[in-house]
Structure 1
């Protein structure tokens, strides 16, 4: 790599945090399979599963805590030029806690500080999320990367993301030779990855906010991995929304899964989700219920024009693949839904 932020020189030595997670681990596997990359270093405080470790091939695994100064030693020892920070806990499949906040915020601070001190580092890719925009009744039809949140998250995962992105931008200002790419992923779905949204849509009876029809987008797990790999191999500094084409309403999502909507006041969604999941899915905070009331849609123009990335799956195709290959059991079959729709149309026609 050169000192030019816009350099297209591919990485030589890559370090990936969060190697025990789905995105971090499988990204390591993809990069390790690329002969153009001399060295791939996988970092996590937890040991990946045997299957994931086997997929990582020639990558070196280091068991260390990114909140500690040891991350700087690892970067220096392996002469790392590209850091992919995939460790932040933002999949939201567990309740946010002080420990998770420390991992997200303090961990990102330490990673950015280590990059700043290392003369070899020329590139940082940060996995972020569209949750930085929040969700509310005054939201625009499409959030572009420069659109400020109408209701900025004040706590939880959303707040963590804002702080993490702040550290990454601070690194870019202090070390202007380091190109920083921030990828804001839309809600990820797939047959292998577990997120709060995937658990929510897998419920046979799905509590929804009465009187609201949120507009949603989805990002396939394979496209999320491909976007991270693309940003690693094709340096493009900046902030980028990443989502599949198209819009899917929450009602469509529930019906296509063959499940049943249970419209309730928004304040009751969280306790009902916890009860219906027998405690397996944590109750939802206000930021989650706002999202399920108002939805959130991203403008992905920069993803294509500047990042140069094109997802393989649309939002609807992502949903359908999640339903087809996941572990969802429909309460109402597709044939039954079609029959009900035909009867409803026939009845409406007679009444006209």
Structure 2
């Protein structure tokens, strides 16, 4: 077996930088990103759509690629986002095949299931990926997973490990997720009370490390046990819960969007109305990775460290919506 040599895309990012730092103490690691950052491993400034990516993989004798690069925050340039998310992933895949890479780990998202009113109470990996055409991030993750399925058939020599994370939180989280809870109140448009599932950022890094070191394959929801509703989150943070009518928020978002004051399209309000709630059973029983923190514990840690709000995780009610699951950790 060849020595594991890892290339990480998006290596200057929130997860990529921490993962590279962890893995570089165990095996040779290089990273690529469109921006420079001081890292304990070599970082090449490179677009993932660059044809030179395959030459870098060959020169560094890469055996394992961890593909993290994607556009997370919504913007107005859908073509640019598609180029990075979908065409960029295709270039990474083609480079892996041409360079003889053995193993690909890719972070998809729970958003690939889509934000739909008829989603199951808990989503398992066998549930359909429906995305949302009006939400670029969700739509692109679905398209990428369809591409990955095609490559699994055409190029079985490239083993694939795919994670579908839920909302990632940690001590230094600064994202659209953290922004939802940093304000003076918690928003629940229309009173849907759709639950959030959280995963600790160190569990994301730990699960990827676990999979890479074992050259594991398969598709896994990446989430902590349980879920928290907006009402529970508001109570834990000691903040009021606001439930404005959906039509009013859509009108305000529409005005902001079309005047160029914001980047959130009114159709994206479904992000709060119909949260995909991820079941992590296969992560624990099939992959064998046990998350260190539950959803409630991860959120309490995030609130304390990132928001400077004291929350006792032991008092956080963990929601288990399916009666069949009520007796266990899921």
TM-score (norm 1): 0.80
- Is 1:132 matched up with 2:112? yes
1:21: Cα distance to partner? 0.5
Distance (Å, rounded) in 1 between the aligned partners of 2:293 and 2:91: 35
- Is 1:166 matched up with 2:146? yes
Distance (Å, rounded) in 2 between the aligned partners of 1:305 and 1:329: 34
Q: Show the counterpart of 1:13.
A: 5
- Is 1:73 matched up with 2:52? no
Structure 1 unaligned residues grouped into runs of 5+: 3-10, 335-352
Distance (Å, rounded) in 2 between the aligned partners of 1:259 and 1:242: 28
Task: Indicate conservation of the 8 Å contact 1:17/1:87, yes or no.
Answer: yes
After TM superposition, the structure 1 stretch with the greater mean CA deviation from structure 2, 213-222 or 78-87, is: 213-222
Q: Show the counterpart of 2:84.
A: 103
What is the SS of the residue equivalent to 2:188?
strand
What is the SS of the residue equivalent to 2:307?
coil
Quickly say closer, same or farther: Cα 1:214–1:298, change in 2 above 3 A.
Answer: same
- Is 1:30 matched up with 2:22? yes
Distance (Å, rounded) in 2 between the aligned partners of 1:268 and 1:128: 32
- Is 1:304 matched up with 2:284? yes
Aligned length: 306
- Is 1:117 matched up with 2:98? yes
What is the SS of the residue equivalent to 1:182?
strand
Task: Indicate conservation of the 8 Å contact 2:63/2:102, yes or no.
Answer: yes
1:269: Cα distance to partner? 3.7
What is the SS of the residue equivalent to 1:306?
helix
Task: Indicate conservation of the 8 Å contact 2:169/2:200, yes or no.
Answer: yes
Distance (Å, rounded) in 1 between the aligned partners of 2:47 and 2:183: 35
1:169: Cα distance to partner? 2.5
Q: Show the counterpart of 1:152.
A: 131
Distance (Å, rounded) in 2 between the aligned partners of 1:45 and 1:68: 11
Distance (Å, rounded) in 2 between the aligned partners of 1:61 and 1:116: 22
1:205: Cα distance to partner? 2.5
Quickly say closer, same or farther: Cα 1:272–1:252, change in 2 above 3 A.
Answer: farther
1:177: Cα distance to partner? 1.5
TM-score (norm 2): 0.85
Which structure has the larger Rg? Answer: 1
1:123: Cα distance to partner? 0.1
- Is 1:292 matched up with 2:281? no
Distance (Å, rounded) in 2 between the aligned partners of 1:96 and 1:24: 25
Alignment of 1:210-249 (within 5 A): 210-249=190-229
Quickly say closer, same or farther: Cα 1:89–1:229, change in 2 above 3 A.
Answer: farther
1:327: Cα distance to partner? 3.0
1:69: Cα distance to partner? 0.4
Q: Show the counterpart of 1:89.
A: 71
Distance (Å, rounded) in 2 between the aligned partners of 1:118 and 1:316: 42
What is the SS of the residue equivalent to 1:216?
coil
Distance (Å, rounded) in 2 between the aligned partners of 1:230 and 1:284: 37
Q: Deviations over 1:150-209 (max 9, x none)?
A: x53114101110122223233322221111011000111122122211111111123321
Task: Indicate conservation of the 8 Å contact 2:224/2:291, yes or no.
Answer: yes
1:24: Cα distance to partner? 0.9
1:298: Cα distance to partner? 1.3
1:190 equivalent among 170, 179, 195: 170
Task: Indicate conservation of the 8 Å contact 1:257/1:328, yes or no.
Answer: no
Distance (Å, rounded) in 2 between the aligned partners of 1:274 and 1:206: 22
1:97: Cα distance to partner? 3.0
Distance (Å, rounded) in 2 between the aligned partners of 1:258 and 1:242: 28
Distance (Å, rounded) in 2 between the aligned partners of 1:112 and 1:80: 13
